[in-house]
Amino acid sequence: MTSPRNPSMLVPPFSATGSSLRQISEDAFYVINEVVTKRLGHMPILKGDFHLLPMKVQRFVAEKAELMRPRGIYICDGTQHEADEIIDKLVERGMLSPLKAYENNFICRTDPKDVARVESKTWMVTPDKYQTVTHTAEGVEPIMGHWMPPESFGTELDSRFPGCMAGRIMYVVPFSMGPIGGPLSKIGIQLTDSNYVVLCMRIMTRVSPAVWDALGDHDYVRCIHSVGLPRPVRVKVVNHWPCNPERVIIAHRPAEREIWSFGSGYGGNSLLGKKCFALRIASNIARDEGWMAEHMLIMGVTNPEGHERFIVAAFPSACGKTNLAMLEPTVPGWKVRCVGDDIAWMKFGEDGQLYAINPENGFFGVAPGTSHKTNPMAMESFQKNSIFTNVAETVDGEYFWEGLEKEIKDPTVEMINWLGEKWRIGDPGRAAHPNSRFTAPASQCPIIHPDWESPHGVPIDAIIFGGRRPDGVPLVFETFSWLHGIFTGACLKSETTAAAEFTGKSIMHDPMAMRPFMGYNFGQYLQHWIDLSKTPEGHAPRKVPKIYHVNWFRLNKEGKFLWPGYGDNIRVIDWIIRRLDGDDSHALKTPIGYVPTQGSINMEGLPPVNWDELVSVPKEYWQEDAKEVRKFLESQVGIDLPAEIRHELDEQEKRIGAM
Ligand code: GTP
Ligand code: SPV
Ligand code: MN
């Protein structure tokens, strides 16, 4: 199938099914090294020394260059000098513009067709369908995992990748997820024809020649990305943002540790270290190696007595991870320090304690709603060296988005909105796209934890799940056990947000906040969680963290949030930490878990809060929920549902039935 947009793309000899996946064998590579070099002769090495790359990388690069036919190869070193060079070029071309009010900050607008992850075009490719998805009931489409058979994948690749970089530069980006060389870290190499992606990868991951040295005999994840618009371009490129929205595909081959992404330059579609590698591929590696790759923030919380605890929290996209990770406590004496805001890789140590690292190097955060009032630490993080995508820009060279109305110097100032139109506060339409983002180095966060780059990670004492739940779900509850906690995570639901392609609001299941990022069969994933709590023979007993559920988003009858949220969430964390410390005097047992008793959450200094509504566990709501959850787990997970979780389902149903 040739793309009507790109008639020039299908170049022989790449027309046969599966040829995009052709690999040069190691032996053959040595023999044809010269040939490869000759082939590469048509593609000048614009920067770096190809022959100094590890041999297996040379092979990967040569193979893919031959397939995608860029006009040159550029081996990135991740330096500031390199970034400056690329930025200058992009500014000249009009793709980036400097935000003059800050130091080294840039703004960019995408093609309005390329603004978020595209779940419907994101696939896992495995020989057996049930490696990717669960055995759902007859006629029920699985919502966790999106399977494509290898044969179709070959065809899809062949209709896109051959010649797809024609006339563009192929950047080779060596990166580490986690501190370079760390025991929990992993290496990736991304090939991309997007210089915006190069700039963002440099912020979001550790891009450095040191990665080549760390690689040694280790495996690495092969990341292949193209905006999918070879030159000469026969369509109008909008906002100097090349992409090919009709032809988008983001496909993962977990067994091969390989990611193929085509047609989009945006976020999780193109910064392949993030969701594609650190969650979908890494969850596969983690299962094989006995650890966990989760969609979780990591925070260190110090109480007024000076004792620090580390907590991870899994909320679906755009449900408050970045905000909680950098929370500025409204209660005196408390201190929060950020280890990570989106992804946690966790492993039980020899001492039986669970440790977590943040595999990322930066924040790719939701801009709207971020302000000095809601998240001052994020604001401080992006005052320099950051990239803003799809926000508005004032004539004074400042960024603007919904939520900054009260902080902007001149509220009547003229702006260019994310669509490139003149705009002022009060005008119809929006300043920024709801999924507009800032990309900022984590090291610039004033409260980044001193151990955030500790190669061994930080010790985790609690896991929190949460989502946007306008009705029925209390502010916080503690689950009864590790298994009940896993069950609660498996039943996680949230209102849809703009972080994916959804429009309109509805409550959707998002198990473990991993629905869009599930790398393998969800039943096996739950089993993996269960198995991890079991102590291997001859080892120190495993200490499993306590598991909680929070909901900052419950609404009153007028549709207003019942809880102030943001910095006041420390009050909930305080309760959680007192529970961890063994104080059980402040909790009421309900069928879904322990909820705080009145007075057990510090409300000092808060405007009046409707406590009863905030923490109630309404009988009708939960009886309905119990039915819905049974139907969900039975139809979606079916025979793959671990017996232990089925037991939790039965028990919770009984408890709710007896309400
Ligand atoms: P991803 O980067 O997509 O994974 O999102 P995230 O989970 O990091 O969400 P983030 O912290 O960026 O918050 C998303 C939106 O939720 C922002 O508009 C926030 O202002 C809003 N938000 C975050 N925390 C709270 C809260 O406690 N209460 C309320 N009402 N809104 C919140
Ligand atoms: C999310 O959607 O959970 C994000 C943004 O963190 S993206 O990187 O686009 O996936
Ligand atoms: Mn996320």
Asked whether residue 120 falls in the same domain as residue 251, the answer is yes
Domain-embedded: residue 659:
no
Same domain, 165 and 301: no
Judgement on whether residues 236 and 255 belong to the same structural domain of the protein: yes
170, 70 contact by CB (below 8 A):
yes
Residues 213 and 153 reside in one and the same domain: yes
CATH number at residue 426: 2.170.8.10
Examine the domain organization and report whether 497 and 390 are in the same domain: no
The overall average pLDDT reported for the chain is 94
- C-alpha span between 596 and 585 (Å, rounded): 9
For residue 117, the ligand 2 atom closest to its alpha carbon is 9
Instruction: Specify whether 255 is located in the same domain as 158.
Output: yes
- Structural domain that includes position 342: 293-362+451-618
Query: What is the DSSP code (8-state) at residue 412?
Result: T
Least confident of 36-45, 498-507, 510-519, 590-599: 36-45
- Distance of alpha carbon 230 from alpha carbon 243, whole angstroms: 10
Q: Which of 17-21, 561-565, 641-645 shows the lowest mean pLDDT across its residues?
A: 17-21
Q: CATH number of the domain that 143 lies in?
A: 3.40.449.10
Q: Which residue, judged by its Cα, is nearest atom 10 of ligand 2?
A: 268
Element (H, E) at 476: strand 476-478
State pLDDT tens for residues 333-356: 999 999 999 999 999 999 999 999
Distance 322 CA to ligand 1 centre (A): 7
| Residues annotated as part of the active site | 319
Tell me the mean pLDDT in the region 52-71.
94
- 327 and 418 both lie in a single domain: no
Phi, then psi, of 487 in degrees rounded to 5: -60, -45
When pLDDT is averaged across residues 161-190 and rounded to a whole number, the result is 98
pLDDT at residue 30 in the model: 52
Q: Which pLDDT does position 154 carry in this prediction?
A: 96
Domain containing residue 497: CATH number: 3.90.228.20
Q: Is 365 in the pocket of ligand 1 (CB under 6 A)?
A: yes
Split at pLDDT 50, 70, 90, the class of 43 is: confident
Residues 113-135, mean pLDDT to the nearest whole number: 97
The closest of 539, 582, 546 to 352, measured between CA atoms, is: 539
Tens of pLDDT, residue by residue over 235-288, are: 999 999 999 999 999 999 999 999 999 999 999 999 999 999 999 999 999 999
Indicate whether 389 and 463 sit together in one domain.
no
Residue-level pLDDT at 39: 59
Residue 10's pLDDT is what? 29
Q: Are residues 181 and 325 in the same domain?
A: no
Asked if the structure places residue 631 within a domain, the reply is no
Residue 589, phi then psi, degrees to nearest 5 = -80, 130
Place of tokens 């389902």: 649
**642 belongs to a structural domain:** no
- Between the CA of 318 and the centroid of ligand 1 the distance, in Å, is 5
Mutate to test the pocket of ligand 2, among 197, 269, 270, 275 (most ligand atoms within 8 A of CB): 275
First to last CA, the chain: 58
Task: Indicate the number of domains in the chain.
Answer: 4
Protein residue with its CA nearest to atom 5 in ligand 2: 268
In a domain, 634, yes or no: no
Q: pLDDT, tens digit, for every residue of 533-573?
A: 999 999 999 999 999 999 999 999 999 999 999 999 999 99
* 564 in any annotated domain: yes
Of 290, 308, 324, the last residue of a domain is 290
C-beta of residue 317 within 8 angstroms of C-beta of residue 516: yes
**pLDDT bracket for residue 42 (50, 70, 90):** low
Residue 490 inside a domain? The answer is yes
The full 3-state SS of 537-593, as one line of letters, equals CCCCCCCCCEEEEECCCCECCCCCECCCCHHHHHHHHHHHHHHHCCCCCCEEEECCE
Residue with tokens 């992006």: 382
Q: Which two tokens stand for residue 473?
A: 């779900």
Q: Is the peptide bond before 232 cis (omega within 30 degrees of 0)?
A: yes
Q: Per-residue pLDDT for 321 more than 90?
A: yes
DSSP E strand boundaries for 231-343: 249-253, 258-262, 292-294, 297-302, 308-314, 335-340
- Compute the distance between CA of residue 648 and CA of residue 635 in angstroms, rounded to an integer: 17
Percentage of the chain lying above the pLDDT 70 cut? 94
Measured between alpha carbons, how far is 601 from 206 in angstroms, rounded to an integer? 40
Which pLDDT does position 33 carry in this prediction? 54
Query: The pTM is what?
Result: 0.95
Ligand nearest to the CA of 250: 2
585 in the same domain as 459: yes
Ranges of beta strands (E only) in 248-381 are 249-253, 258-262, 292-294, 297-302, 308-314, 335-340, 344-348, 354-357, 362-366
Strand order in the sheet with 106-108: 97-98, 106-108, 387-389, 437-441, 362-366
pLDDT at res. 18: 56
Each residue of 429-472: pLDDT tens digit? Answer: 999 999 999 999 999 999 999 999 999 999 999 999 999 999 99
CA 202 – CA 225 distance, rounded (Å): 15
How far is it, in rounded angstroms, from Cα 23 to Cα 607?
A: 64
Enumerate long-range contacts of 210-216, CB under 8 Å, 24 or more apart.
Answer: 210/176, 210/180, 210/181, 211/174, 211/175, 211/176, 211/180, 211/187, 212/52, 212/53, 212/54, 212/57, 212/174, 214/176, 214/180, 214/181, 214/185, 214/187, 215/54, 215/57, 215/174, 215/187
For residue 602, report the phi and psi dihedrals to the nearest 5 degrees: -70, 115
Higher pLDDT, 444 or 585: 444
Distance CA 585, CA 300 (A): 25
Residues 601 and 520 in one domain: yes
pLDDT greater than 50 at residue 12: no
> Can you tell me the mean pLDDT for 510-518?
98
Question: Which residue's CA is minimally distant from atom 11 of ligand 1?
Answer: 320
Distance of alpha carbon 105 from alpha carbon 113, whole angstroms: 24
Residue 632 in any domain: the answer is no
Give the residue from 199, 223, 255, 258 showing the smallest Cα distance to 79: 199
Closest ligand 2 atom to 271 CA: 8
What CA–CA distances, in Å, run from 366 to 54, 122, 381, 418, 563? 37, 21, 13, 14, 21
Query: Which residue has the least CA distance to atom 4 on ligand 2?
Result: 317
- Ligand 1 atom nearest the C-alpha of 553 is 30
Q: Is 222 a domain residue?
A: yes
Beta carbon of 319 within 6 Å of any ligand 1 atom = yes
Rounded to the nearest angstrom, the distance between the alpha carbon of 364 and the centre of ligand 1 is: 12
Q: Are residues 318 and 390 in the same domain?
A: no
Residue 580 has pLDDT above 60, yes or no: yes
Quote the pLDDT of residue 1. Answer: 35
pLDDT at 38: 58
